[in-house]
Structure 1
Amino acid sequence: MIAIVETYGSMLISALGKTLLLTLLSLFFAMIIGMIVALFNVSSNKPLNILGMIYVDAVRGIPLIVLAYFIYFGIPAGIKLMGIEGFRLSALEAGTIALSMNCGAYMAEIFRAGIESVDIGQMEASRSLGLTYSQSMQYVILPQAIVTMIPSIINQFIITLKDTSILSVIGFPELTNTGKTISGNTFKSLETWAIIGFMYMVVIITLSKVAKYIEKRINSVK
């Protein structure tokens, strides 16, 4: 095991960095998608409600690995059928899109629940003071909702971090894919996957402790 760390340590650290990069990029775009879809879902506009519901149900109903294959292989093939040659997505681009779409559907439900957890009287009071619906949502509802959503957002970050391992199927050099390479080169599967598992465990436990700490701070303020 020590020999693997000495020989492939830099590769493992690089893979961990790429895993975290993919996770952060995906979470960033997922939060934007989730907020937009959540606002659709809490809107009084029926067509927007339907669009939001379709997105959440459709994306959550598709396994992430299928979504990744569709984006990485399917979309370029479809564009080629349209007569456009040379279009190709990198593994990072396809992985970010797939994870963002998948995570965005779950983030939408987190945001929706957070918004709905704010007493409806808050909206009525702000509207009575002359604020528009969008102003009330921006300055009154969302600031209160986001505080309650932070632990759930961190938990979703953890889930997304673990989901990056699925993207080894499209060749993105994250930790799991790197583990396959090292295992194939050294023929030491037990030691290799023990190291990979330990690296995931350290990061995920750290994030879990952060989530619990923040949740305790929020509850103490309340």
Structure 2
Amino acid sequence: MDFNFQIIAEYAPFFAKGVLYTLGISLVGILCGTILGLGMGLGRLIQNPWLRMPFTWYVNFFRGTPLLVQLLIIHYGLMPLFMSPPNPVVSTMVGLSLNAGAYIGEVFRGGIQSIDRGQTEAARSLGMTHAQTMRHVIVPQAFRRMLPPLGNEFIVLLKDSSVASVFATPELLYWGRAAVSQYMRVWEPYVTIALIYLFLTLTLTYLLNYVEKRLNQHDPSQAAKKELRAARGAERHLG
């Protein structure tokens, strides 16, 4: 097999530009998706089924339909209502954020539900409101448990951003397809792109593992746990 490195050298600046777009789009998607996912996760915990229903159907729609279909609907159907012509980069960011919000919402819901209910009761006995309990007691402890699936979602989002190349978002795969169209050769562009994605995902995996180890060494919820244990001890003493 003849591997032409000249094609890679010629398109190297475009691949670098594509990497920046891929990282930027993915970062915006995961940040906005995390904020949205927190709301979805809390919404899915509402006891009233009628109030919980919109959050449930949001999650069902974005988890139950292909990402490509969602991006096409957003780019060609939704975004023209706000800008004309629609910007493919903005459409991709919106689509990835909405999609990530559904998956991250389930991560938040599962992480919050994994915390022992007794900690909530002890926090409320200290006079904390529901919002204070979630902020100072439940979420800090749940976050450490949610970090691995959140990191996995970021990696998935990084790879899924390549789908946006279908409507000319100038991310990494877009420039790979441009090289294929120009030279009618698939090995050089696509193998190079695959290796770049592999490098990005492995680097991100290493960073996430490092952060997870650091959090395990310095648990931010220890103070809250000590306070709750003290409160329980006081309750037993008074009892």
Task: Give the alignment's TM-score, normalised by structure 1.
Answer: 0.90
Q: Does 1:38 align with 2:41?
A: yes
Contact 2:8–2:189 under 8 Å retained in 1: no
**Which of residues 141, 146, 149 in structure 1 aligns to 2:143?**
146
- Structure 2: 5+ residue runs without aligned partners? 220-239
Partner of 1:118: helix, strand, or coil? coil
Deviations 1:72-122 (A, max 9, x none): 111256x4xxxx9x6332001110111111111000001111111111111
Question: How far 1:22 moved relative to its partner?
Answer: 0.4
* Identical-residue share of aligned pairs (%): 34
Matched, 1:52 2:17: no
Alpha-carbon distance in structure 2 between the residues aligned to 1:187 and 1:63: 29
Any residues of structure 2 matched to 1:60-209 within 5 Å, and which?
Answer: 60-76=63-79, 79=81, 87-209=84-206
Match of 1:20 in 2: 23
Q: Aligned-pair distance for 1:214?
A: 4.0
State the Cα distance separating 1:219 from its structure 2 match. 5.5
Measured after TM superposition, the shift of residue 141 of structure 1 is 0.6
| In structure 2, distance between residues paired with 1:11 and 1:76 | 27
Cα displacement string for residues 54-89 of structure 1 (whole angstroms, at most 9, x for unaligned residues): 110111112111111111111256x4xxxx9x6332
Cα offset, 1:202, TM superposition? 0.5
Task: Give the C-alpha shift of residue 190 in structure 1.
Answer: 0.8
The answer (yes or no) to whether the contact 1:122–1:140 under 8 Å persists in 2 is yes
Alignment TM-score, normalising by the size of structure 2: 0.84
Where does the alignment leave 5 or more consecutive residues of structure 1 unmatched? none
Per mean C-alpha deviation after superposition, the further-off stretch among 206-215 and 23-32 is 206-215
Please list the CA deviations of residues 14-65 of structure 1 after superposition, one character each: whole Å capped at 9, or x if unmatched.
0011000000011111001100010111233433321211110111112111
User: Which residue in the other structure is 1:11 paired with?
Assistant: 14
Please tell me whether the aligned partners of residues 148 and 218 of structure 1 are also in contact (alpha carbons under 8 angstroms): no
- RMSD of the TM alignment (CA)? 1.9
Give SS of 2:44's match.
helix
Q: Is the 8 A contact 1:168 1:176 kept in 2?
A: yes
- TM superposition shift of 1:218: 5.0
